[in-house]
Amino acid sequence: MDILFFSAQPYDITYFNQANQQNTHRFRFLEYPLNEDNTALIKDEKAVCVFVNDKVDAAVVHKLKEKGITLIALRCAGFNNVDLKAAAEAGISVVRVPAYSPHAVAEHAVTLLLALNRKIYKSYNRVRDNNFTLAGLEGFDVYGKTVGVIGTGNIGAVFCRIMLGFGCKVLAHDVVEDASLVQAGVTYVSQESVLTESDIISLHCPLTPDTKHLINGHSINSMKRGVTLINTSRGGLVDTKAVVEALKNGHIGALGIDVYEQEEQLFFQNLSGIIIQDDVLSRLTTFPNVLVTAHQGFFTREALTQIAETTLANISSFEKNEPLKNALK
């Protein structure tokens, strides 16, 4: 099948070509994100492959149908950027990669937590300046702390198990409880209990109308003062302006994020030569107790390989008119 990739990065080209060594499919890669204006770049392709920040709303879906697109293949797990109802009405199938390497994202969440707690980024910069003092670098033992996890799907489950290995008390909330996690020692409680009882909170749930801004002024006020908040899931789970206020007054003790609500205008681009116009993110990055990474949680060799292989398997199944196990409806 002929496939047009939007928001293609060099690593996309490398891993998808590697997964397509039999030349089963024909690729064309564009670095531009998909939007209503650049659907005109579609030629004879029947499928588009998109990522987290590509805009696939009803207007774009309408344009895709006009261009003869029959399949939207997401090379990611999240799908909040796609209007599934519009796609169904247009007769366009949508597939995704529901799990690629849950360990990659879960381990990145732990990395953010440890780097924040032990001030690794500060220590690194000091040592490079031949400053070997320790003042201001104190952290806390993660051992024995109460860790709250919202969302225990593939990624959240791995994170829970890692935290259990650290000797933490793990509280979790999800609409579906994982019996194997309960057996391992995780305690399922209400979302409110996770927020109020945890020293560390990590978000691993999808972005839906129900979860949008689940971290807001009200929920922050219910948290322990000095709580550490980690988000490697979706930026829209967090009301960033409310978090900024909580950082200013000390209610949130540390923040580690790999996602940001307005990231589509920023992430996956080199903007080092320009002035960032996003005042909220600019303010956020001034805090010494905040660590921001640019949606790199998934970025491991294993995950990239799995993403490419699963995406192409989805496309092959569609082309062969086989059942789509990773279809979205």
Catalytic positions: 234, 263, 295
**Burial 208-223, CB ≥16 within 10 A → b, else e:** eeebebbbeeebbeeb
Torsional sign, CA 38, 41, 46, 52: negative
Tokens 């207007």: give the residue: 59
Helix (H) or strand (E) holding 85: helix 84-90
DSSP β-ladder status, 146-150 and 169-173: parallel
DSSP labels, 291-314: EE--S-TT-SHHHHHHHHHHHHHH
Distance between CA atoms of residues 35 and 44, nearest Å: 18
Burial of 38 per CB tally in 10 Å (0-12, 13-18, 19+): middle
The pair of structure tokens assigned to 25 is: 């499919």
Using CA atoms, how far residue 165 sits from 110, 147, 297, in Å, is 12, 12, 20
**Which residues is 98 bridged to in the sheet?**
none
